[in-house]
């Protein structure tokens, strides 16, 4: 569904200054996946979501979504892509819902814009996300969780093959966030739609099959859940607190480079240096602090 290769996005601030939001990011997402993207503020995760949604253009690299090369689409083709291929759920419901319309009318609106109006389908989507009893309610009559579920129904109005969600649980409590994620899981299972969710909530990511961590504009690691590696020979670990079987994998870019987590480097005493010694021992690659190695040892 998604193929990013050496993806770069540079924002020009003025004639002399620019910000590199993505610097050679690699990512592949299979059709039908439910995956999360995590990362610190400024890591590039929201920039990536905007590129996938066709809201911005990459500066360089390769970006293909559902067979469409987003670097080569014309403006007309890009509008068609945003109408038909991708659905978006924002954290801020002011961007998802029109307050003077009912829940049903909000879902019907993108259908009307795309000449695909089906009232029965709009009602069905609201039932699927658990707010079928609120179809005639306006924004001020809905709770935060209900508003977000209506927003999910809106994003599915034109039957997209890819659903993108940017911090969809950021404005609700933990219990409501859990319910919203269950809605995403049910839709992923029942409709087969590919879903990519950006979130800072590590508790929610435990319900996703794959979680990709982005650091400094690059994919740094992946966490695969049980369903992704059953019947394989991967060495997995069991966390006692949550009963969550998973394996975390570092990601190599196309040049064979890897991002080493800062806490790993600090553990071997590397805090103010950009150099590390690499050795091969018994089939393992070992990173060593060069200042702690004695000659002849």
Predicted local distance difference test score (pLDDT) of residue 296 = 52
The answer to whether residue 11 sits within a structural domain is: yes
Whether 268 and 248 map to the same domain: the answer is: no
Predicted local distance difference test score (pLDDT) of residue 238 = 42
Count of domains observed in the chain: 2
Residue-wise pLDDT tens digits, 136-182: 999 889 998 899 999 999 999 989 999 999 988 887 888 888 888 99
Cβ(166)–Cβ(89) below 8 Å: yes
Whether 196 and 292 map to the same domain: the answer is: no
Predicted local distance difference test score (pLDDT) of residue 297 = 46
The answer to whether residue 63 sits within a structural domain is: yes
Task: Provide the residue range defining the domain that includes 218.
Answer: 2-85+160-258
Nearest Cα neighbor of 260 from 246, 250, 270, 249 is: 250
Predicted local distance difference test score (pLDDT) of residue 92 = 80
Predicted local distance difference test score (pLDDT) of residue 53 = 93
Predicted local distance difference test score (pLDDT) of residue 52 = 95
Whether 166 and 296 map to the same domain: the answer is: no
Predicted local distance difference test score (pLDDT) of residue 229 = 42
Nearest Cα neighbor of 260 from 222, 230, 220, 224 is: 220
According to DSSP, the β-strands at 284-288 and 277-281 are antiparallel
Whether 169 and 54 map to the same domain: the answer is: yes
Cβ(286)–Cβ(277) below 8 Å: no
Predicted local distance difference test score (pLDDT) of residue 93 = 76
| Domain containing residue 186: CATH number | 3.40.50.300
Predicted local distance difference test score (pLDDT) of residue 88 = 92
Whether 17 and 49 map to the same domain: the answer is: yes
Predicted local distance difference test score (pLDDT) of residue 49 = 92
- DSSP one-letter string for 185-226: HHHHHHH--EEEEE-S-HHHHTTSSEEEEEETTEEEEEEEEH
Predicted local distance difference test score (pLDDT) of residue 186 = 92
Predicted local distance difference test score (pLDDT) of residue 234 = 41
The answer to whether residue 99 sits within a structural domain is: no
The answer to whether residue 90 sits within a structural domain is: no
Burial class (CB in 10 A: 0-12, 13-18, 19+), 268: middle
Whether 275 and 194 map to the same domain: the answer is: no
Q: pTM here?
A: 0.78
The answer to whether residue 138 sits within a structural domain is: no
Predicted local distance difference test score (pLDDT) of residue 219 = 62
Whether 195 and 248 map to the same domain: the answer is: yes
Q: Residue 284's CB: how many other CB atoms inside 10 A?
A: 7
Cβ(194)–Cβ(202) below 8 Å: no
Cβ(40)–Cβ(215) below 8 Å: yes
Predicted local distance difference test score (pLDDT) of residue 196 = 95
Whether 218 and 271 map to the same domain: the answer is: no
The answer to whether residue 273 sits within a structural domain is: yes
Low-confidence ranges of the chain (pLDDT < 70): 204, 219-248, 253-255, 293-297
Whether 60 and 167 map to the same domain: the answer is: yes
Whether 166 and 276 map to the same domain: the answer is: no
Whether 291 and 165 map to the same domain: the answer is: no
Burial class (CB in 10 A: 0-12, 13-18, 19+), 263: exposed
The answer to whether residue 185 sits within a structural domain is: yes
Could you give the 3-state DSSP secondary structure of residue 284? strand
Whether 290 and 164 map to the same domain: the answer is: no
The answer to whether residue 170 sits within a structural domain is: yes
């Amino acid at each position: 569904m998604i193929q990013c290769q050496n993806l770069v996005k540079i924002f020009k601030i003025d004639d002399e200054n620019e910000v590199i939001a993505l610097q050679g990011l690699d990512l592949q997402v299979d059709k039908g996946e439910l995956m999360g993207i995590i990362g610190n503020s400024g890591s590039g995760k929201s920039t990536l979501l905007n590129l996938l949604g066709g809201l911005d253009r990459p500066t360089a690299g390769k970006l293909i979504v559902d067979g469409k090369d987003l670097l080569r689409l014309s403006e007309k083709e890009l509008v068609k892509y945003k109408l038909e291929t991708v659905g978006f759920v924002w954290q801020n419901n002011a961007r998802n819902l029109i307050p003077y319309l009912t829940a049903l009318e909000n879902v019907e609106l993108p259908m009307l814009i795309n000449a695909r109006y089906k009232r029965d389908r709009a009602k069905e989507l609201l039932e699927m996300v658990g707010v079928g009893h609120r179809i005639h309610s306006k924004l001020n009559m809905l709770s935060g969780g209900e508003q977000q579920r209506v927003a999910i129904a809106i994003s599915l109005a034109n039957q997209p093959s890819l659903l993108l969600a940017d911090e969809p649980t950021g404005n609700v409590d933990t219990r409501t966030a859990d319910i919203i994620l269950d809605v995403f899981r049910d839709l992923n299972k029942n409709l087969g739609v590919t879903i990519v969710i950006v979130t800072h909530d590590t508790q929610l990511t435990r319900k996703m099959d794959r979680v990709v961590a982005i650091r400094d504009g690059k994919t740094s690691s992946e966490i695969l859940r049980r369903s992704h590696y059953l019947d394989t020979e991967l060495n997995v670990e069991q966390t006692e607190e949550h009963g969550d079987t998973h394996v975390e994998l570092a990601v190599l870019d196309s040049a064979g480079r890897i991002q080493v987590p800062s806490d790993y480097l600090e553990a071997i005493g590397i805090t103010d240096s950009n150099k590390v010694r690499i050795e091969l021992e018994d089939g393992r690659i070992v990173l060593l602090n060069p200042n702690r190695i004695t000659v002849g040892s």
